[in-house]
């Protein structure tokens, strides 16, 4: 051990001497390197209104591509790629080049079809420091990545996982590619942040959280299918959950909560319920972990204890939602495997329709 310590001390001193010489000759470059190694990032661009300004109804995987390509303009140390799925996961940074032996200045990594190794490599980059690594794949393939994801959390690393094709919305690819239990599996990892945004505004919030959470890996879980850009979404997602459409009453008759593509269903269900005399509060719930970090007062403002009639809607396993719905609530979820068909047909078959959400909510009022 003494010999090892001596060797380590010598290596550290050699590095300090080398860096001092480098700093004397290249002061600006050394300043940039020190900034990167600190892990700090400029937040003024993230807080600028331009970062939150988007248009169009698009898949959140495409939303992520737009946000990523805004971020990389002022975060030159973003560095990552996909497991041979960059065109599908939309994770190429435009104008940043491809990393290889011949082009070491490139920032887009092509990992090949090896999800576990990809995640381990990203962990190594995070441990080294200086870069903010991201790794991408289809959400169902998080099963291959999970051992290394668990280590990301254990080591408190800022690694960003871009997980696309997030639900039965994958459609014709069928049950083998349709995630069911993966959300629950990742949410169960300690010190691991899962964010499932419902549109481009929330995807911007997801990336904001991912690059600023220095001591936690983050999985941004994204849709294949197009989703509507909702007027009310935005910075509220930085709290993990927030009231998207408020009840006219101090205590709503019912609270509807959902993440990702299912937010559209509860958003529309509120209007149908209003026609039937039920005043609902609509809560977008992209991240349980971030919500749990908020103050008790904020949590109460989103999920008032006095409202016990609650419905959670998510196209995945119900595991974990009971914490938020209580004893008198209900869950519209999937606790079986999917099916192969066009996405709209699969959602209809599985009961993910506005009509079924309304019926599930009204059932809460039956004796």
d(C-alpha 120, C-alpha 147), whole Å: 9
Residue 298 and residue 164 in contact, taking contact as beta carbons nearer than 8 Å: no
Residues 271 and 75: their CA atoms lie apart, in Å, by 42
State the CB neighbour count (10 A cutoff) for residue 15: 10
Q: For 250-263, give the secondary structure using H, E and C.
A: CCCCEEEEECHHHH
Cα distances (angstroms) measured from residue 140 to each of 154, 158, 185, 305: 22, 22, 11, 35
CA distance 124 to 27: 27
Rounded (to 5) percent helix, strand, coil in the chain = 50, 15, 40
Question: Of 115, 262, 264, 289, which one is the catalytic site residue?
Answer: 115
How many C-beta neighbours within 10 Å does residue 90 have?
A: 22
Q: Which of 331, 340, 333, 329 is nearest to 315 (CA)?
A: 333
Reading across the β-sheet that carries 193-195, which strands appear in turn?
Answer: 108-110, 78-82, 132-138, 160-164, 218-221, 193-195
For residue 172, indicate whether it is catalytic: no
How many angstroms separate the CA atoms of 106 and 96, rounded? Answer: 6
Residue indicated by tokens 């989703």: 227
Residues acting as catalytic residues: 115
């Amino acid at each position: 051990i003494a010999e090892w310590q001596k060797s380590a001390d010598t290596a550290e001193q050699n590095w300090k001497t080398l860096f001092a010489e480098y700093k004397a000759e290249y002061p600006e470059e050394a300043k940039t390197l020190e900034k990167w190694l600190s892990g700090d990032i400029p937040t003024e661009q993230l807080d600028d209104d331009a970062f939150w300004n988007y248009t169009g109804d698009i898949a959140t995987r495409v939303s992520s591509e737009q946000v990523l390509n805004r971020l990389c303009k002022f975060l030159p140390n973003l560095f990552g790629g996909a497991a041979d799925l960059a065109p599908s996961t939309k994770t190429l940074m435009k104008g940043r080049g491809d990393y290889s032996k011949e082009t070491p200045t490139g920032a887009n990594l092509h990992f090949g079809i090896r999800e576990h190794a990809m995640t381990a490599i990203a962990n190594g980059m995070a441990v080294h420091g200086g870069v903010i690594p991201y790794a991408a794949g289809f959400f169902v393939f998080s099963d291959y990545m999970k051992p290394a994801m668990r280590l990301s959390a254990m080591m408190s690393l800022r690694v960003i996982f871009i997980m696309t094709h997030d639900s039965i919305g994958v459609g014709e690819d069928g049950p083998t590619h349709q995630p069911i239990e993966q959300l629950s599996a990742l949410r169960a990892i300690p010190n691991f942040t899962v964010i499932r945004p419902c549109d481009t505004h929330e995807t911007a919030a997801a990336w904001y959280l991912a690059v600023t959470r220095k001591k936690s890996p983050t999985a941004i879980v994204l849709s294949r299918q197009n989703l509507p850009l909702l007027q009310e979404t935005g910075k509220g997602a930085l709290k993990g959950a927030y009231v998207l459409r408020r009840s006219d009453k101090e205590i709503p008759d019912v609270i509807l909560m959902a993440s990702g593509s299912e937010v559209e269903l509860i958003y529309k269900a509120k209007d149908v319920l209003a026609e039937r005399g039920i005043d609902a509060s609509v809560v977008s719930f992209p991240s349980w972990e971030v919500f749990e970090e908020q103050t008790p007062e904020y949590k109460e403002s989103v999920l008032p204890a006095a409202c016990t009639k609650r419905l959670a809607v998510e196209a995945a396993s119900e595991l974990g939602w009971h914490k938020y719905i209580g004893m008198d609530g209900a869950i519209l979820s999937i606790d079986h495997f999917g099916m192969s068909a066009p996405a709209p047909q699969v959602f209809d078959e599985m009961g993910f329709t506005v009509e079924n959400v309304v019926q599930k909510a009204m059932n809460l009022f039956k004796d």
